[in-house]
Amino acid sequence: DSGVTQTPKHLITATGQRVTLRCSPRSGDLSVYWYQQSLDQGLQFLIQYYNGEERAKGNILERFSAQQFPDLHSELNLSSLELGDSALYFCASSPRAGVGNTIYFGEGSWLTVV
Amino acid sequence: QQQVKQSPQSLIVQKGGISIINCAYENTAFDYFPWYQQFPGKGPALLIAIRPDVSEKKEGRFTISFNKSAKQFSLHIMDSQPGDSATYFCAAQGGGNKLTFGTGTQLKVEL
């Protein structure tokens, strides 16, 4: 158990809908990351927050947004969902923002768009 | 643009054999190279990591070999066991802190 908690574990929703994925980082970790894993794209970095502030942005679609709250939990909002958004979404956390900090992954949220 | 190339895509090794997975990177700003292990239904978990100022790091049966001039690094799993069957990802991290992952290698260790 990495200590990173993600909910829900599984989610099935229809095209055009909006969903929110929730992440609780490891206790004390200030940095949160979101990754998308799909068969054709592998593990793709979406966005990073550090202590409530956006730190880095990757290949995140404009339909997607995220935030980190004062209690350090994070949410990833996916809207106007398309079939191609079906993937496993991982949240990860690390103690600080800096090279060499071990990044711990949660078990992911499986999103299926039908 | 894939910044970390990983091969092979899949690998079958006999129990007790050596598993070797290779990665190559392009961005010279990368200065931390971790390997992650992922079992089905689980998130990736850090296995071993190396900085470019050393050429080799060993932890138990797992060894990373690093060639800075060639911009290549590899994972060697000695005495491979069925419990090692998983997907392995190499990754690279630079100033931006995010991890850039390779495409993954599915390892199967057969009895």
Q: How far apart are the first and last CA of chain A?
A: 31
Min distance A31 CA to chain B CA atoms (Å): 10
Q: Are A2 and B95 inside 8 Å of each other by CB?
A: no
Find out whether A77 and A26 touch, Cβ atoms under 8 Å. no
The pLDDT tens digits for A9-29 are: 999 999 999 999 999 999 999
Percent of chain A residues topping a pLDDT of 70: 100
The pLDDT tens digits for B50-80 are: 998 999 999 999 999 999 999 999 999 999 9
What's residue B108's pLDDT? 98
CA distance readout (Å), A69 to A31, A53, A73, A101, A107: 11, 9, 6, 21, 21
What's residue A40's pLDDT? 76
Instruction: Give A2-66 as a DSSP string.
Output: -S-EEE-SEEEE-TT--EEEEEEPPTT--EEEEEEEETTTEEEEEEEEETTEEEEE-S--TTEEE
What's residue A1's pLDDT? 85
What is the total residue count of chain B? Answer: 111
- Please indicate if any CB of chain A lies within 8 Å of the CB of B101: yes
On chain A, the residues whose CB falls within 8 A of the CB of B98 are: 33, 45, 48, 56, 58
Give the residue-averaged pLDDT of A34-46. Answer: 90
Q: Which of the four pLDDT bands, split at 50, 70 and 90, describes residue A100? A: confident
On chain B, the residues whose CB falls within 8 A of the CB of A31 are: 97
Give the residue-averaged pLDDT of A40-64. Answer: 92
Q: Does residue B97 surpass a pLDDT of 80?
A: no
- Please indicate if any CB of chain A lies within 8 Å of the CB of B7: no
Residue with tokens 């550090």: A50
Dihedral sign for Cα A100, A26, A104, A48, please.
negative
In a mutagenesis test of the A interface, which of B99, B100, B106 is the best target, namely the one with the most A β-carbons within 10 Å? B99
Dihedral sign for Cα A86, A71, A48, B25, please.
negative
Q: Does residue B82 surpass a pLDDT of 90?
A: yes
Q: Does residue B28 surpass a pLDDT of 60?
A: yes
Find out whether B96 and B12 touch, Cβ atoms under 8 Å. no
Residues within 8 A of A (CB atoms), B 12-51 only: 31-32, 34, 36, 41-46, 49, 51
Phi-psi region of B59 (alpha: psi -120 to 50; beta: other; left: phi over 0): beta
